[in-house]
Amino acid sequence: MIGMKPRDELEGMLIGQLIASHNAAMECYRRAMIGEQTFEGRRENLNQASKLSRTCAALTEALDRHRGKGRQHITVEHVNVHAGGQAIVGAITPGRRSSQKLEEHTHAPREITHEPGNSMRSPEPDRETMPIAGGAGKAPV
């Protein structure tokens, strides 16, 4: 418990339950491995060990959520890629920029916009264009 460093009483209780359920699961796994065990006894011990293992996972998740590790941060940005351009999807580490410019860029307000467009071009010019999703009506494909 000391190694998991509980920060408050709730974390202490969660960690205590986590340790108890882990020890109980290990005991069920140990009993299932006894050679003279009947099939039903082995199955019941493995069933209980499985339930206890799921409890350990749920307690670990609860502890992570309590500690703030379970929160997701999603950043949505609008990107225009024009003909002949290239787009990069993923995290980008800035190169050598001054910290002032980087700070200004980081705190700049971002806006979500929608630009209605034309149909997507087909790589084969002889084929028809493909409609863009958005409920603008049905178009031949």
Question: What integer pLDDT is reported at residue 10 of this predicted model?
Answer: 87
Residue 121 has pLDDT above 90, yes or no: no
CA dihedral for 72, 5, 60, 66, sign (positive or negative): negative
pLDDT value for 104 = 56
pLDDT above 90 (res 8): no
Distances in Å between the alpha carbon of 18 and those of 15, 24, 89?
5, 10, 39
Give the total residue count for the chain.
141
Given a cut of 60, is residue 101 above it in pLDDT?
A: no
pLDDT of 42: 95
**Tens digits of per-residue pLDDT, 37-57?**
899 999 999 999 999 999 999
| 56-59 LR contacts (CB < 8 Å, sep 24+) | 56/18, 56/21, 56/22, 56/25, 59/14, 59/17, 59/18, 59/21
The least confident of 6-10, 26-30, 41-45, 49-53 is 6-10
Residue % of the chain over a pLDDT of 70: 57
Burial bucket for residue 69 (CB in 10 Å: 0-12, 13-18, 19+): exposed
Give me the residue label for tokens 């339930």.
51
The per-residue pLDDT of the chain, averaged, comes to: 77
Half-sphere exposure of 16 (CA within 13 A, CB side): 6
Q: Cβ atoms within 10 A of the Cβ of 110, count?
A: 8
